[in-house]
Amino acid sequence: MATSKEYADFIVGQLNLLEDIKIRYMMKSYILYYEGKIFGGIYNNKFLVKNTIAARKRMPNTCEESPYKGAKAMLLVDEVDDKEFLASLIVEVCKELPIPKPKKQKDIKEQIHMVESRCGIVCSECTFKEKKGCKGCVNIDNPFWGNCIIKTCCESKSLNNCGESSEFPCDNLKSFSYDKEQGDNGKRIEQCKSWCNR
């Protein structure tokens, strides 16, 4: 079930005690930022925040929910009618989150090459580029092949590609890369390493 814009607008309205709230639509869900940090999101009409010590203390009876298949569990926020509670919850959660790393300045040609895909596929070599008129997953909201957990994961963490992740290569990327039908025997993993000089 996709998140409705009406519910997303309601949640954002409930967060209006905080000045630097930003919202980003992505793959039928909404990612939420405070002071540049991703603290949670709205998935399937549920408001979830990152599973931090502060969040667990503020909501001891809440339950864990995964925003999408393969993602880390987050915490469900039930008290969405209390604006002061929500504001203080988000501030406390964000205190535990790392400061986003500044983007490195790269050569323009390298930047163009790097944003071809999130998973390491080199779009210029992909046979579907012409067949499907695909512009690359970084340039479209809805990939022609359907929901992509790799694209969603990277974009929710503001990563250019999987190679920038502290969990690289994760189980999802390995599964995707070594898939019998669609995989490339690890080539995309090596490509991500090359892009990120790992």
Q: What is the mean pLDDT of residues 23-50?
A: 90
120 in the same domain as 45:
no
115 in the same domain as 180:
yes
170 in the same domain as 122:
yes
Higher pLDDT, residue 49 or 99: 49
113 in the same domain as 48:
no
68 in the same domain as 25:
yes
Domain boundary among 39, 64, 95: 95
Q: What is the mean pLDDT of residues 44-67?
A: 94
Using pLDDT thresholds of 50, 70 and 90, give the confidence band for residue 104: low
119 in the same domain as 91:
no
- The answer to the question of residue 101 being in a domain is no
Domain tally, the chain? 2
- The answer to the question of residue 100 being in a domain is no
> In this structure, what is the dihedral angle of CA atoms 84, 55, 166, 124, given to the nearest 10 degrees?
-50
At 22, which CATH number?
A: 3.30.1460
Cβ atoms of 40 and 32 closer than 8 Å: yes
Cβ atoms of 189 and 177 closer than 8 Å: yes
Q: Is the pTM of this model over 0.75?
A: no
Q: What is the mean pLDDT of residues 169-177?
A: 85
**Cα separation, 32 vs 6, whole angstroms:** 15
86 in the same domain as 12:
yes
Domain boundary among 66, 95, 124: 95
CA-based radius of gyration for the chain: 18
Judged by phi (left if over 0) then psi (alpha if -120 to 50, else beta), residue 188 lies in alpha
Show the domain range for 61: 5-95
Domain boundary among 60, 95, 130: 95
**Cα separation, 155 vs 162, whole angstroms:** 10
Q: Retrieve residue 26's tokens.
A: 């992505």
Q: Which residues are CB-contacts of 79 (< 8 A; sequence separation ≥ 6)?
A: 59, 85, 86
25 in the same domain as 78:
yes
Cis peptide bond upstream of 143, omega within 30: no
**Cα separation, 101 vs 166, whole angstroms:** 12
82 in the same domain as 150:
no
9 in the same domain as 89:
yes
